[in-house]
Structure 1
Amino acid sequence: MNYPNWIKDLESSSFSNGQPAVDQRPLVLAVDDNHDNLELMTQILDLFGCECVGAVDGYTALSAAVDRPPDLIVLDICLPDIDGIELVKRIKQHAELIHIPIVAITALAKTEDRDRILKAGCVEYLSKPFNIQDLETIIRHHLKYQQAVSG
């Protein structure tokens, strides 16, 4: 795999005194109630050149997104407090968060689940277990789109 071109951009953006610039990596909010899955996702996102903030439930995720709006959200749908569909609706109610792409990664694999998740406002859907290359393609696509819109 070709990991990330963003790191080259970061390395070339150091201050003249040799100190690295402020962390300019894309911020991704990863939400999964399974701590092992969340840790794995954090490591994968780090390999992709992203800064990652993790949350183990919907309320924590919503609070984290409001406090520091991410560039992308990777979301498990089955959460212990509010489900991912409800979380997507709540995120979309915040004007400062409505533009953030949300990628669902879930064990819900039926066609009707996929349709319901995408209809709720997720831009992409991956069923668990997912292919890392598919995840990388999706994340890079949506982060490039976000950078083009905001840049």
Structure 2
Amino acid sequence: MARILVVEDNSLNIKLFCDLLSAHGHDARPVTDSRVALDEAMSFRPDLIITDIQLPYVSGLDLIRAIRREPVLAEVPIMAVTAYAGQGDGERILATGAQAYVSKPISVARFVQEVSALLPKTPAL
């Protein structure tokens, strides 16, 4: 079971993401206020962070930059979710420090596939 921090200001999206993650056996912690997301990440110590890019207060890009500056979080994979995937946005998101991004509206299959690809593989017993 992976610990996954989900930073999203839209209540429907956060419910969808957390329900999907829980259905796949993960411990999903929702954060709806980007101003507390970094503190939550520091205390929760997630295996993966999923963040919206268009957030009030602290943008997803600024949040990714802040996460990358924290030594205990610097190696945690980040998946960005955005409704505005225009020309060059993907490259800009990845250059900021995310390992992947998914456009909204999300494809459930693609979302689950990206999450699985980003989580550390555990050896089979």
Name the TM-score, length of structure 2 as normaliser: 0.93
Match for 1:67 among 32, 43, 62? Answer: 43
Q: Please say if residues 108 and 114 of structure 1, whose CA atoms lie closer than 8 Å, have aligned partners that are also in contact.
A: no
Q: Which residue number corresponds to residue 120 of structure 2?
A: 144
- Cα distance in 2 between the residues matched to 1:58 and 1:92: 15
Match for 1:87 among 46, 63, 85? Answer: 63
Shift of 1:135: 1.1
3-state SS, counterpart of residue 108 of structure 1? coil
Match for 1:124 among 100, 107, 119? Answer: 100
Shift of 1:141: 1.4
Extract unaligned runs of 5+ from structure 2.
Answer: none
- Cα distance in 2 between the residues matched to 1:61 and 1:38: 14
Q: Which residue number corresponds to residue 110 of structure 2?
A: 134
Higher relative contact order (CA 8 A, sep 6+): 2
- Cα distance in 2 between the residues matched to 1:110 and 1:52: 28
Work out which of the two has the higher radius of gyration on C-alpha atoms and give 1 or 2. 1
Identity %: 33
- Cα distance in 2 between the residues matched to 1:119 and 1:144: 21
The number of aligned residues is: 123
Matched, 1:115 2:67: no
Q: Which residue number corresponds to residue 36 of structure 1?
A: 12
